[in-house]
A and B are shown apart, each in its own frame.
Chain A
Amino acid sequence: MQRMSKAVAWLGVACFSLTGAMAHAQEKENGEKKERAPLVHLIKDPYPSTYTPFPSQLTAITGATILDGNGNQIDGGTVIMSGGKIVAVGTDIAIPEGAKVVDGTGKWVTPGIIDVHSHLGVYPAPDHQSTADGNEMTAPVTADVWALHSVWPQDTGFARALAGGITTLQILPGSANLIGGRGVTLKNVPARTREGMRFPGAPYSLKMACGENPKRVYGKKGGPATRMANMAGYRKAWIRARDYKEKWENYYADYEAGEDPAAPTQDLELDTLMGVLDGEILIHNHCYRADEMVDMINMAHEFGYKITAFHHAVESYKIADILAKEGVCSAMWADWGGFKLEAYDRINENIPMVARAGACAIVHSDSDVEIQRLNQEAAKAWADGRKVGIDFTEAEAFTWLTRNAAEALGIADQTGTLETGKMADVVLWSGNPFSVYSLAEQVYIDGALMYERGNEALSPQSDFEVGQNGKGDHQ
Chain B
Amino acid sequence: MRQLLKTTAVALSLSLLPFAAGAETVAITGGKLLTMGKSGTIENGTVLIEDGKIKQVGAEVKVPDGARVIDASGKVVAPGFMESATLIGLSEISLTKDSNNHSAKDAPFSAAFDVRYGINPDTVEVANHRNEGLTRTVAVPSGSGHLFSGGSAVLSLSGTPDVKKGPIIASLSDGGNASVAWTRLRIILDQVKAYAKDRSDILNGKGRNQFLLSYEDMDALIPVIRGDRKLGLELQRKADILQAIALKEEYDLDLFLIGVPEAWKVADELAAADMPVVIDAQADLPYKFTSLGSTLHNAARLEQAGVTFAISSLGEAHRAYLISQWAGLAVAHGLSYDGALRAITVNPAKIYGIDDSYGSLEKGMDADVVVWDGDPLEVTSNPDHIFVQGVEYPRVSRKTMLRDRYLKLDPDMPHAYQ
Binding site for B on A (CB under 8 A): 125-128, 156-157, 160, 212, 216, 317-318, 321, 335-341, 344-349, 353, 368-369, 372-373, 376, 379-380, 382-384, 387-388, 434-439, 464-465, 468-469, 473-475
| Residue ID in chain B nearest A321 by CB atoms | B409
Is B378 interfacial (CB 8 A cutoff)? Answer: yes
Which B residues are CB-close (under 8 A) to A439? 332
In the complex, what distance in Å separates the CA atom of A346 from the CA atom of B94? 15
DSSP class of B's interface residues: helix, strand, loop or mixed? loop
Q: Closest approach, in angstroms, between the C-beta of A30 and any C-beta of chain B?
A: 62
Which B residues are CB-close (under 8 A) to A346? 399
- Is the CB–CB distance between A474 and B284 below 8 Å? yes
In the complex, what distance in Å separates the CA atom of A242 from the CA atom of B311? 54
| Residue ID in chain A nearest B295 by CB atoms | A474
On chain B, the number of residues with a Cβ less than 8 Å from chain A's Cβ atoms is: 43
In the complex, what distance in Å separates the CA atom of A255 from the CA atom of B407? 57
Q: Closest approach, in angstroms, between the C-beta of B92 and any C-beta of chain A?
A: 8
Binding site for A on B (CB under 8 A): 92-96, 125, 282, 284-289, 292-297, 317-319, 322, 325, 328-329, 331-333, 373, 377-382, 399-400, 402-403, 406-407, 409
- Is the CB–CB distance between B403 and A341 below 8 Å? no
- Is the CB–CB distance between A347 and B403 below 8 Å? yes
Q: Closest approach, in angstroms, between the C-beta of B303 and any C-beta of chain A?
A: 16
- Is the CB–CB distance between A383 and B382 below 8 Å? yes
In the complex, what distance in Å separates the CA atom of A423 from the CA atom of B403? 39
Q: A127-B288, A339-B318, A469-B292 are in contact. Are A348 and B399 (CB under 8 A)?
A: yes
- Is the CB–CB distance between B94 and A339 below 8 Å? yes
Which A residues are CB-close (under 8 A) to B379? 376, 379-380, 383, 434-436
DSSP class of A's interface residues: helix, strand, loop or mixed? loop
In the complex, what distance in Å separates the CA atom of A469 from the CA atom of B285? 11
| Residue ID in chain B nearest A470 by CB atoms | B295
Q: Give 24 A-B contacts (CB < 8 Å), ordered by A residue.
A: A126-B286, A156-B285, A216-B95, A317-B403, A335-B319, A335-B322, A339-B93, A344-B93, A347-B402, A348-B399, A353-B406, A353-B407, A379-B380, A383-B379, A383-B380, A435-B378, A435-B380, A436-B329, A437-B328, A465-B292, A468-B286, A469-B292, A474-B294, A474-B296
Which A residues are CB-close (under 8 A) to B282? 369
Which A residues are CB-close (under 8 A) to B403? 317, 347-349, 353, 388
In the complex, what distance in Å separates the CA atom of A339 from the CA atom of B94? 5
Which A residues are CB-close (under 8 A) to B373? 387
In the complex, what distance in Å separates the CA atom of A461 from the CA atom of B382? 37
| Residue ID in chain B nearest A437 by CB atoms | B332
One of B286, B294, B325 near A376 (C-beta < 8 A): B325
Given contacts A128-B288, A317-B403, 10 further A-B contacts (CB under 8 A): A127-B287, A347-B403, A348-B399, A372-B284, A383-B379, A388-B407, A435-B380, A436-B329, A437-B378, A464-B286
One of B94, B296, B381, B402 near A383 (C-beta < 8 A): B381
| Residue ID in chain A nearest B399 by CB atoms | A347
Which A residues are CB-close (under 8 A) to B381? 383
